């Protein structure tokens, strides 16, 4: 995929949060592999995924942290919010409880990230229209949101890309300070940092899940 | 009788031809376990019998020895534990594995002294908190069986009733699945009880304190056994919880090739959590074998990727168990490190409660 280790100008850190079973890992898999993983096992702790995207002609590497949704893991996963440039907050449109819990996820996201972190709401499983339990309109009132389906792939790309665009915009207009310790964005030099490294094999950029 | 008679081919590779008769199981205990078997085995593409390395004659000898031990189990455990340990390290003969696990972990004793308890749990109503979590899980990869499952709509949940405080943790799913592949539900239930309460107490409780503590212990042991890897991990702030959580909480069932899982479990049931530390150290060393590999990992992401995606041919049961026994880390080292981390946490807690002090970086040196 990538020709060299620094074939991109920025790295953005994302976290994906939300109740267990809402489809966080499936979204990540759909985004990185363009496939639906129906039998996705529970995330125990955290999983990682990465993909390079392009925003306004700039290559950006997304470093995505997919967290376990079960309540008892939160004591641990809370420490992963730090330094995230984007937070994808996911609920399942067929299970109202996952929607009701958003406020608590949002509280964590607000408290544990920096003020410029872009928080993006996702209603997943839009393919299950018949089982819908949360209407589009009410979710819209809660926040600007995006309904998508990790199964069909509908809108998944947009969720990740729109978040990146917003972060990039924040960099451009100066509201996101790249030098701040925990901005969640790293600027990468165009040339490899270590020219003495004789290892020619490009580092693997594939999905880590 | 086979675990699942209509899928005998799956079990055949675990059951060398012509061996002793398999212990009889209640067939109704295995609905769903086929699925788990398939998914566990499938995901790693391991249908090859590596136990085949042990010649049939030898295996029969081992079986005789194990049968002999079962005859006088208490005596063996109290007087000749070293020998028992040695035999577990060599791998328990597949045909006797189920029974051996139950003897080793004391679940047989628990079950014999709690006649009817399990049935009773199944009849009781579960705490709606856990039932909700389990319901969400029913369609998931690992079959959660009646041991966890709601029955007849009333909502039952044997383990959460047995231990209402701990409730249900999704990391218990894979463990239950491995157990259910070897034994009927009631036996598996008591094994699970033993694992969660005796072997890994606190692992599945809200907050995962015990796992975090063991993460720190592992890190301390790495410092001792593999200083350059330790330095690398510390520099990149690769906290132990980023790679060891699933290893420890699922007792490697989602990490290792299937035959290795069984070998690790054989040792684990005999020696306990120490086995997990040894295996974890070996895996870390396999994943980050030398400085050239470390140099390929400019950031924590590459490092974690190396640790979490080790090609399964490098995790062969024989290699893994030999390496884990060759480590120059003694049980005493582990106990000392454990004490050290316990003290450290205690001191941190006290400092916190005394006054608002800056929280320290979670990685301990
Ligand atoms: N129909 C449908 N099913 C989905 C979709 N996304 C995920 N699923 C299913 O929902 C279940 C849970 O998906 P996961 O991605 O594992 O959920 P998670 O949020 O990562 O769960 P935890 O790791 O436990 O926190 C799986 O059985 C998926 O097959 C979707 O868009 N449509
Ligand atoms: Mg997940």
Secondary structure (DSSP) of chain A: --SSTT-SSEEEEEEEE-STTSSHHHHHHHHHHSS--TTPPPPSSEEEEEEEEEETTEEEEEEEEEE--SGGGHHHHGGG-TT-SEEEEEEETT-HHHHHTHHHHHHHHHHHS-TTPEEEEEEE-TT-GGG--S-HHHHHHHS-EEE--TTT-TTHHHHHHHHHHHHHHHHHTT-S-TTSTT-SEEE--SS-S-TT----SPPP-S---
What digits encode the pLDDT tens for the residues A106-115? Answer: 999 999 999 8
- Of the two residues B204 and B340, the one the predictor is more confident about is B340
Q: Looking at residue B34, what is its pLDDT? A: 34
Q: Looking at residue B365, what is its pLDDT? A: 41
> Minimum mean pLDDT among A90-104, B93-107, B347-361: which range?
B347-361
What digits encode the pLDDT tens for the residues A74-100? Answer: 999 999 999 999 999 999 999 999 999
* Measured CA distances, A55 to A52, B19, B110 (Å): 10, 64, 61
pTM given for the model: 0.83
Residues 6+ apart with CB under 8 A from A3: A202
Fold of the domain built from segment(s) B209-348: Cyclin A; domain 1 (1.10.472)
Q: At what angle do helices B97-104 and B185-194 cross, to 10 degrees?
A: 40
Q: Looking at residue A177, what is its pLDDT? A: 80
Residue B139 CA: which ligand 1 atom is closest?
27
CB A86 within 8 A of CB A63: no
- Mutate which of A40, A91, A105, A130 for ligand 1 pocket (most atoms within 8 A of beta carbon): A40
Is residue A8 in a domain? yes
CB B176 within 8 A of CB B192: yes
CB A66 within 8 A of CB A16: yes
* Residue B117 banded pLDDT, cuts 50, 70, 90: confident
Is pLDDT above 80 for B28? no
Residue nearest to atom 30 of ligand 1 (CA): A125
**C-alpha dihedral, B98 to B245 to B197 to B114, nearest 10°:** -40
In short, whether A22's Cβ falls inside 6 Å of ligand 1 is: yes
* Residue B131 banded pLDDT, cuts 50, 70, 90: low
Q: Looking at residue A208, what is its pLDDT? A: 40
Q: At what angle do helices B258-271 and B273-287 cross, to 10 degrees?
A: 140
Q: Looking at residue A149, what is its pLDDT? A: 96
Q: Looking at residue B118, what is its pLDDT? A: 82
Q: Kindly list the residues from chain B whose CB atom is less than 8 angstroms away from the CB atom of residue A39.
A: 39, 141
CB B167 within 8 A of CB B196: no
Q: Looking at residue B356, what is its pLDDT? A: 60
Q: Kindly list the residues from chain B whose CB atom is less than 8 angstroms away from the CB atom of residue A193.
A: 298
Cross-chain residue pair B239–A79, CB shorter than 8 Å: yes
Is pLDDT above 60 for A3? no
Q: Kindly list the residues from chain A whose CB atom is less than 8 angstroms away from the CB atom of residue B250.
A: 44
Provide the β-strand partners of residue A16: A66, A88
Give A4-7 contacts, CB < 8 A, sequence gap 24+. A4/A192, A4/A202, A5/A192, A5/A202, A5/A203, A5/B298, A6/A188, A6/A189, A6/A190, A6/A191, A6/A192, A6/A193, A7/A52, A7/A59
- In chain A, how many domains are there? 1
Domain ranges of chain B: 20-51+93-202, 209-348
Average pLDDT value over all residues in chain A: 87
- Of the two residues B51 and B325, the one the predictor is more confident about is B325
CB B151 within 8 A of CB B83: no
What digits encode the pLDDT tens for the residues A24-54? Answer: 999 999 999 999 999 888 899 999 999 999 9
> Minimum mean pLDDT among B36-45, B64-73, B161-170: which range?
B36-45
Is pLDDT above 50 for A196? no
* Residue B252 banded pLDDT, cuts 50, 70, 90: very high
Provide the β-strand partners of residue A90: A122
What digits encode the pLDDT tens for the residues B60-89? Answer: 999 999 999 999 999 999 999 999 999 999
* Measured CA distances, A176 to A8, A108, B339 (Å): 19, 20, 44
Report the 10 Å Cβ neighbour count for B67: 13
Is pLDDT above 70 for B46? no
Q: Looking at residue B137, what is its pLDDT? A: 56
Q: Looking at residue B130, what is its pLDDT? A: 63
Token representation of residue A110: 């607000």
Chain B residue with Cα closest to A6? B298
Q: Looking at residue A187, what is its pLDDT? A: 82
Is residue A209 in a domain? no
Is residue A73 in a domain? yes
Average pLDDT value over all residues in chain B: 78
* Interatomic CA distance for residues B129 and A177, integer angstroms: 43
Interface residues on B facing A, Cβ-Cβ cutoff 8 A: 39, 132-133, 136-137, 140-142, 169-171, 173-174, 204-209, 211-212, 239, 241-242, 245-246, 249-250, 254, 292, 295-296, 298, 301-302, 304-305, 308-309, 362
Is residue A17 in a domain? yes
For residue A41, give the ligand nearest its CA.
1
Is pLDDT above 70 for B40? no
Structural domain including A165 reads 4-200
Picking from B132, B141, B295, the nearest residue to A197 by CB comes out as: B295
Q: Do the domains spanning B20-51+93-202 and B209-348 agree at the CATH topology level?
A: no
Give the CATH number for residue A84.
Answer: 3.40.50.300
Is residue A181 in a domain? yes
* Interatomic CA distance for residues A121 and A106, integer angstroms: 10
Is pLDDT above 60 for B142? no
What digits encode the pLDDT tens for the residues A118-171? Answer: 999 999 999 999 999 999 888 888 877 789 999 999 999 999 999 999 999 999
* B20-51+93-202 CATH pick, 3.30.360.10, 1.10.8.270, 1.10.3720.10, 3.30.9.10: 1.10.8.270
Measure in Å the smallest separation between the Cα of A205 and chain B Cα atoms: 9
Return the percentage of chain B with pLDDT > 70, whole number: 71
In short, whether A88's Cβ falls inside 6 Å of ligand 1 is: no
């Amino acid at each position: 995929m990538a020709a060299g280790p620094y074939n991109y100008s920025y790295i953005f850190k994302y976290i994906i949060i939300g109740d267990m079973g809402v489809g966080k890992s499936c979204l990540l898999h759909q985004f990185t592999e363009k496939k639906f993983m129906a039998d996705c096992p529970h995330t125990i702790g955290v999983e990682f995924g990465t993909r390079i995207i392009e925003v306004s002609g700039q290559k950006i590497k997304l470093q995505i942290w997919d967290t376990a949704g079960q309540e008892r893991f939160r004591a641990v996963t809370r420490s992963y919010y730090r330094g995230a440039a984007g937070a994808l907050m996911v609920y399942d449109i067929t299970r109202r409880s996952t929607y009701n819990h958003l406020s608590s996820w949002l509280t964590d996201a607000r408290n544990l990230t920096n003020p410029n972190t872009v928080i993006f709401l996702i209603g997943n499983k839009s393919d299950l229209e018949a089982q819908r339990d949360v209407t589009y309109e009410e979710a819209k009132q809660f926040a600007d949101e995006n309904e998508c389906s990790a199964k069909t792939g509908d809108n998944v790309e947009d969720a990740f890309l729109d978040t990146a665009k917003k972060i990039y915009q924040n960099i451009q207009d100066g509201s996101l300070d790249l030098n701040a310790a925990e901005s969640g964005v790293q600027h990468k030099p165009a040339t490899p940092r270590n020219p003495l490294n004789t290892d020619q094999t490009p580092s693997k950029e594939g999905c880590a899940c | 009788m086979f675990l699942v008679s209509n899928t005998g081919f799956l079990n055949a590779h675990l059951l060398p031809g012509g061996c002793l008769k398999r212990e009889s199981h209640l067939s109704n205990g295995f609905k769903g376990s086929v699925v788990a078997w398939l998914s566990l085995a499938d995901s790693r593409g391991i249908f090859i019998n590596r136990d085949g390395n042990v010649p049939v004659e030898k295996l029969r000898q081992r079986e005789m020895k194990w049968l002999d031990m079962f005859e006088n189990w208490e005596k063996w455990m109290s007087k000749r534990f070293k020998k028992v340990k040695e035999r577990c390290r060599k791998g328990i003969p597949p045909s006797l594995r189920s029974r051996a696990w139950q003897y080793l972990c004391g679940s047989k004793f628990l079950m014999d002294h709690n006649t009817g308890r399990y049935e009773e749990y199944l009849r009781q109503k579960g705490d709606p908190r856990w039932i909700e979590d389990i319901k969400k899980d029913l369609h998931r990869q690992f079959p959660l069986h009646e041991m966890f499952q709601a029955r007849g709509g009333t909502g039952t949940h044997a383990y959460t009733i047995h231990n209402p405080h701990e409730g249900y943790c999704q990391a218990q799913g894979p463990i239950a699945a491995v157990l259910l592949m070897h034994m009927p539900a009631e036996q598996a239930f008591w094994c699970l009880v033993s694992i969660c309460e005796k072997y890994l107490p606190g692992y599945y409780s809200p907050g995962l304190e015990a796992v975090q503590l063991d993460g720190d212990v592992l890190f301390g042991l790495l410092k001792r056994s593999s200083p350059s890897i330790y330095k690398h991990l510390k520099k990149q702030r690769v906290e132990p919880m980023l790679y060891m959580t699933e290893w420890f909480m699922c007792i490697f069932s989602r990490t290792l090739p299937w035959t290795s899982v069984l070998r690790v479990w054989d040792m684990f049931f005999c020696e306990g959590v120490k086995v997990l530390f040894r295996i974890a150290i070996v895996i870390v060393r396999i994943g980050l074998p030398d400085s050239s590999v470390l140099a390929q990992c400019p950031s924590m992401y590459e490092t974690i990727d190396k640790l979490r995606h080790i090609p399964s041919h490098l995790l062969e049961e024989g290699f893994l168990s030999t390496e884990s026994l060759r480590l120059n880390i003694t049980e005493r080292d582990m106990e000392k490190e454990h004490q050290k981390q316990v003290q450290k946490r205690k001191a941190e807690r006290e400092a916190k409660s005394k006054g608002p002090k800056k929280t320290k970086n979670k990685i301990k040196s």
